């Protein structure tokens, strides 16, 4: 389908997500400058398969590797600037939030500090933007539950306060923004133990489109022995 692109992303243990590359329906590709000498994204149209090939694999390449399909108009240039906010479930408590920053050049997304919440309570996560105009991009919220694939929560068309949600979570989460403060918010209502996850905010270029849903493939484990 020429209207879609398939991305490869990896999650090294204890680190943030790292974009590897993408191939689109028209056959065009793009790769991370850091990884392009060792990883290549190709496709086999006869079997409708997108392939990630790695060479000269190193110990630091140990990670969970994901493929993710998105409408071309949203993720044709997916260079994710991510921070994370983890919610752990400990007994009957939703445990400690923590965050770790990741930046490229002068662009930063910084999330809120630690809080502790019980199931049934509400929590509001912030994502502070710096280094670019908040009104020129989409801001996505994504989560990863333990042992499961990435799950797209929704996106904000920044500067317009126009949010779009995944059908599965639209009644539980609220995305808002404070443009003067260059901050995006994700509020989770009535927290449940199944909301235990790592939560990410991610930036993509703002473009025109009508499709919203992200499709995440099951993960594959790559390791070096």
Residue 188 · residue 175 · CB < 8 Å: no
Per-residue pLDDT of the chain (225 residues; tens, 9 = 90+): 566 778 888 888 777 778 888 888 888 888 888 898 999 999 988 888 888 999 888 888 888 888 777 653 343 333 333 333 333 333 333 332 322 233 333 445 555 655 667 788 888 888 887 766 667 678 888 887 877 777 888 888 888 888 999 888 888 999 999 988 888 899 988 888 888 777 888 776 533 333 333 333 333 333 333
**Bridge partners of 56?**
none
pLDDT given at position 116? 67
Residue 118 · residue 92 · CB < 8 Å: yes
User: Half-sphere exposure of 158 toward its Cβ, with a 13 Å CA cutoff?
Assistant: 27
Residue 132 has what DSSP assignment? S
pLDDT given at position 173? 93
pLDDT given at position 42? 92
pLDDT given at position 81? 33
Best CA proximity match to 148, nearest among 216, 92, 55: 216
Distance CA 80, CA 29 (A): 17
CB-CB neighbours of 215 under 10 Å: 13
Distance CA 164, CA 215 (A): 15
pLDDT given at position 209? 32
Structure tokens at 122: 């509400």
Domains, the chain: 4-76+213-222 (2.60.40.10), 83-205 (2.60.40.10)
């Amino acid at each position: 389908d020429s209207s879609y692109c398939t991305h490869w992303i990896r999650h090294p243990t204890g680190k943030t997500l790292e974009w590897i590359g993408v191939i689109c329906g028209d056959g065009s590709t793009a790769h991370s400058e850091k990884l392009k000498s060792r990883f290549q994204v190709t496709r086999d149209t006869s079997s409708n398969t997108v392939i990630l090939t790695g060479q000269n694999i190193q110990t630091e390449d140990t990670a969970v590797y994901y493929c993710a399909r998105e409408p071309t108009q949203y993720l044709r240039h997916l260079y994710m600037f991510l921070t994370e906010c983890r919610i752990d479930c400990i007994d009957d408590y939703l445990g400690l939030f923590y965050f770790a920053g990741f930046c490229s050049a002068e662009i930063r997304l910084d999330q809120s500090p630690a809080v502790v919440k019980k199931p049934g309570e509400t929590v509001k996560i912030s994502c502070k933007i710096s280094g670019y105009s908040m009104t020129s991009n989409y801001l996505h919220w994504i989560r990863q539950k333990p042992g499961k694939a990435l799950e797209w929560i929704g996106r904000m068309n920044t500067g317009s306060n126009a949010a779009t949600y995944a059908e599965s979570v639209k009644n539980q989460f609220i995305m808002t923004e404070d443009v003067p403060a260059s901050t995006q918010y994700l509020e989770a209502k009535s927290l449940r133990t199944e909301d235990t996850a790592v939560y990410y905010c991610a930036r993509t270029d703002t473009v025109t489109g009508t499709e919203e849903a992200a499709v995440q493939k099951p993960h594959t484990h790559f390791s070096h022995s």
